[in-house]
Amino acid sequence: MSHHLKFFIDGAWVDPAVPATLDVINPATEEAYTRISLGSRADVDRAVAAAKKAFASFSRTPVADRLALLKKILDVYNARFEDIAVAVSEEMGAPLSFARDAQAWAGRAHMESTIEALENYKFSEKRGSTMVVKEPIGVCALITPWNWPLNQIVCKVAPAIAAGCTVVLKPSEIAPISGIVWAEIMEEAGVPKGVFNLVNGTGPDVGQVMAGHPDVDMVSFTGSTRAGIIVAKTAADTVKRVAQELGGKSANIILPDADLERAVRKGVRGCFGNSGQSCDAPTRMLVPADRHEEALKFAKAAAEAHKVGSPTAEDTDLGPVVSQLQFDKIQRLIEVGIKEGATLVTGGLGRPEGLNRGYYVRPTVFGNVTNDMTIAREEVFGPVLAILPYKTEEEAIAIANDTVYGLAAYVQSQDIEHARAVALEMRAGSVYLNYPEWDTHAPFGGYKQSGNGREYADWGIHDFLEIKGIVGYGD
């Protein structure tokens, strides 16, 4: 039976307090393929009350019991792996192979990393005559985005449970079905009543209510910087903890000694992955000025090698972007890039040839970009790359750091010591050297307006804990 019109509260699938629905659009067809219910304050109150009641006992469960629960969740997740991939592909247009190998894989990988971290996590530490104890913070409101739905759900729910917290999850209403599958997984895994709750809805009607709720002890939010500011202001009235992973405009510095063709080709792929809908994508490529034209040639070839098409086609590299709103925003920024004088190397306005339906964007590369241009300042969140020339390494570092964001940075060099030195100059939460593999044990989060707090493995668990010092504890 479909649970698309239900919420999961206190261990049961329930109807919304006030009936209201929203069509879920398949971005490849621009047509609704299902509906979800939209929640209200009454639904949030009910879910928070269930979480608060469950916290009294769940917060005292032994670590071994929480470990066993997470392992059971992982087992069920693996059994539902294909269902997750299909849900992600339908709701956000990801090619099915990408939905399996990246989107659904990410949820599994983060579950495994959290389990491994919990197996080695120390919840108490003796310092002299003081015992320092790490305790679950309480009821946690989790607000997750549409672009990496399972990645962000697992990166919040798993460490919260590991810490002994109870949660209320609001997935994005744009891509909500994978979140419903996740709730089904939690139910089948036997998560105790009230420990995990799901309420679908909009940001103003559900997300902000959660953020301001007096019985919520912490908000963990991933999304745009604009929405994150609203969440933080709403949460401030009750002085609760707020952890946020927000926008980015990540620089990719290709140093003079790098293999330029390889560095550009892989940089284009990194920027365009997930149809450009990743907050840490390397969207500003910095190349030596004397090799700028050469870099444009490599970037053009790499971009034009990407096949844009149906998510169900085996040869598709890039599916559509998620919505009409996103499509329109990307088109506007491409147009601004052209008007401000950047060189349009490939791509541009409109859909790719032969695609007359769906939110498909032409893979686009701009050259001769300066860091004061809009496409170098604003997060496009689509397959659009800005290439900026630099004359000196010092100038490249200054350009890279000249942004309100600080989520990620990238450095390419054949001299690893040199790359490490440049990494230390980056004002970003993560720096990636020479396109490494995804490390789900590394801390993930941002400087500046890219947020606060860190996710992944033990870093995520830490954010869901309070620190208590028992002074005079004795020897």
Indicate the burial class of 62 (C-beta count within 10 angstroms; 0-12, 13-18, 19 or more): exposed
- The residue whose two tokens read 């002299």 is 128
| DSSP, res 100 | I
Residue of 140, 165, 271, 279 with catalytic role: 279
Q: What pairs with residue 198 in β-bridges?
A: 8, 169
Rounded distance between C-alpha atoms, residue 291 and residue 365, angstroms: 16
Question: Is there a catalytic annotation at residue 271?
Answer: no
Residue of 245, 271, 379, 455 with catalytic role: 245
Q: How many CA atoms lie within 13 A of 458 on its CB side?
A: 9
- For the chain, the distance separating the N- and C-terminal CA atoms, rounded to the nearest angstrom, is 58
Question: Is there a catalytic annotation at residue 279?
Answer: yes
- The residue whose two tokens read 């956000």 is 92
73, 185 Cβ separation under 8 angstroms: yes
Rounded distance between C-alpha atoms, residue 156 and residue 161, angstroms: 9
* CA 165-107-1 angle, 5° bins: 85
- The residue whose two tokens read 């769940």 is 58
Indicate the burial class of 186 (C-beta count within 10 angstroms; 0-12, 13-18, 19 or more): buried
Active-site positions read 245, 279
